């Protein structure tokens, strides 16, 4: 790393082509450049480090950088940023440490603008400065969304492999995962329809739920096959062992969360795996949560799980008919969220169609 001397005209020429500064006149850009520090980094050199104090942002004049999230043992690549783009801009909005590590992939020249200098620029630049700030805020939201999607992409392949292992060990067909996903989806959409002013039920929630739902029983990979595939009803001792799968699944996702960092996907995965056997009346496991203490995602998956279990063959019994299973669920008032049971009454044909579509 070394400081580089570029004249204001050279810096301004680069900044003029950047979207973030498109609302500024040449004189305003020149004034901003006057407070910028120019620095050069060699390929492989760390520019900012996750956890460091965030007191400036960077504009790439030349070169390419890579963004990483620090895991427990190593860095996880997220995406790259090219010349005429900025990074580290969260420092201008939030008083929080750096949320990522940035390294130079090639030789990189950057203009560094401190938070103090930028705030002074906002004071005298008027509307132009406000426009820049709005663009930065929009970019921060977009960057956070992209990072979350990248994390999900990294997880998807490994989670799919574990899901397949679960299916093999329990002699489930892949149709089981599809049914759970679809039962959960139609019930969640009905819930959203009846709760239009609940802003948490956005597209991201629905997408995450669709991905997470089939993983609800992933903790069963920790259960011995002689118990998991036992052809007769379980003893009380064996039932206690089976019941540990909820905690085991949640702990696996929690370890992934500690390795990768904060993730909406992993947060929901922990909730669904841990709490899909909780009951509305508080008599479920593993924590005895009741009513609204149980996350919505887990309450939705719980109904999908029980319906699919009742209408599928098990080593120790044959499947119940749809009519029998539907009545058992509808009558079990203490088990499920009453609001969801009420909505379920409108979805009988949807459930039957899903069962038919994804038969084993």
Give the Cα separation of 63 and 71 in Å (integer): 26
Give the Cα separation of 255 and 251 in Å (integer): 6
Give the Cα separation of 217 and 265 in Å (integer): 16
Rg (CA), the chain: 26
**Per-residue pLDDT tens digits for 302-321:** 999 999 999 998 888 899 99
> How many of the other CB atoms lie within 10 Å of CB of 90?
21
Give the Cα separation of 53 and 49 in Å (integer): 9
pLDDT > 70: what percent of the chain? 72
CA distances from 247 to 120, 259, 271 (A): 52, 18, 10
**E strand spans, the chain:** 2-3, 37-41, 46-48, 56-62, 65-70, 75-81, 86-87, 101-104, 108-114
- Residue 98, pLDDT above cutoff 90: no
**Per-residue pLDDT tens digits for 185-235:** 999 999 999 887 777 788 888 988 988 898 898 888 788 888 888 888 889
- Residue 129, pLDDT above cutoff 80: no
CB within 8 A of 196, min separation 6: which ones? none
Domains of the chain listed by start with CATH number: 2-141 (2.60.120.10), 170-357 (1.10.3210.10)
Helix (H, G, I), strand (E, B) or coil at 152: helix
Helix, strand, coil content of the chain in percent (nearest 5) = 55, 10, 30
């Amino acid at each position: 790393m070394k400081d580089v001397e570029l004249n204001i005209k050279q810096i301004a020429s680069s900044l003029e082509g950047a979207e973030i500064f498109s609302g500024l006149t040449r004189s305003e850009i020149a004034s901003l450049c006057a407070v910028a520090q120019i620095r050069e980094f060699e390929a492989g050199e760390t520019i900012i480090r996750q956890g460091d104090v965030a007191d400036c942002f960077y504009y790439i004049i030349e070169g390419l950088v890579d963004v990483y999230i620090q895991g427990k043992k190593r860095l996880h690549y997220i995406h790259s940023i090219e010349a005429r783009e900025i990074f580290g801009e969260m420092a201008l909005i939030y008083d929080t440490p750096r949320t990522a590590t940035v390294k130079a992939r090639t030789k990189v020249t950057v203009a560094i603008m401190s938070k103090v200098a930028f705030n002074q620029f906002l004071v005298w630049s008027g509307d132009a400065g406000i426009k820049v700030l709005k663009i930065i805020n929009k970019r921060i939201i977009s960057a956070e969304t992209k990072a979350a999607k990248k994390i999900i992409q990294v997880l998807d392949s490994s989670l799919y492999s574990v899901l397949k292992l679960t299916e093999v060990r329990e002699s489930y067909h892949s149709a089981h995962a599809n049914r759970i996903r679809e039962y959960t989806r139609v019930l969640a959409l009905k819930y959203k329809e009846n709760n239009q002013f609940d802003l948490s039920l956005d597209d991201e929630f629905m997408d995450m739920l669709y991905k997470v739902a089939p993983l609800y029983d992933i903790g069963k990979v920790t259960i011995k096959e002689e118990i998991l595939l036992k052809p007769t009803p379980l003893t009380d001792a064996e039932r206690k062992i089976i019941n540990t799968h909820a905690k085991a699944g949640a702990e696996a996702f929690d370890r992934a969360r500690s390795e990768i960092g904060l993730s909406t996907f992993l947060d929901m995965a922990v909730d669904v795996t841990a709490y899909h056997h909780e009951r509305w009346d508080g008599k479920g496991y593993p924590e005895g949560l009741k009513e609204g203490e149980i996350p919505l995602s887990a309450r939705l998956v719980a109904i999908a799980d029980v319906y699919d279990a009742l209408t599928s063959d098990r080593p120790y019994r044959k499947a119940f008919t749809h009519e029998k299973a539907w009545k058992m669920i509808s009558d079990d008032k203490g088990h499920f969220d009453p609001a969801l049971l009420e909505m379920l009454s409108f979805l009988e044909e949807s459930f039957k169609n899903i069962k038919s579509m994804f038969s084993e």
